Amino acid sequence: MKVAKDLVAASATPMVLGILAEADSYGYAILKRINELSGGELDWTEGLLYPLLHRLERLGHVESSWRSVVGERRRKYYRVTRSGLAELAEQRRQWDTVVDALKEIWNGAGGSPSAALGGLA
């Protein structure tokens, strides 16, 4: 199953802020975490992640710093700011509203999408 590009874009900010709320992280680790969380269904590229991280940094939602680990190359780590945590809380509230509405539609009187397709056959 491939997740639609629009849905990936809409969920990108809360995903990255949520991952950074767990712990400071760097690009490759964020990409790996997204892949793990989605069971491999979301396969983000650097071309999607880094422009988002730069935008979040411009907005003050994340901060970055270079860190060196012995035996490894320097990495740019990102951490969520207080502003980013507030944005994450607002995005979560909005996503909860959307998910609850979809559950009502799919589990309520309208039935599931597959049931609707069966009704057309």
Would you say the C-alpha torsion 25, 26, 29, 34 has a positive or negative sign?
A: positive
Q: What is the pTM of this model?
A: 0.85
Give the model's pLDDT for residue 119.
53
Task: Decide if pLDDT at 74 tops 50.
Answer: yes
Mean local confidence (pLDDT), 77-83: 98
**93 is written with which tokens?**
């509230």
- Tell me the per-residue pLDDT of 14-67, one tens digit each, with 9 for 90 and over: 999 999 999 999 999 999 999 999 999 998 999 999 999 999 999 999 999 999
More confident residue, 73 or 13: 13
Mean local confidence (pLDDT), 92-96: 97
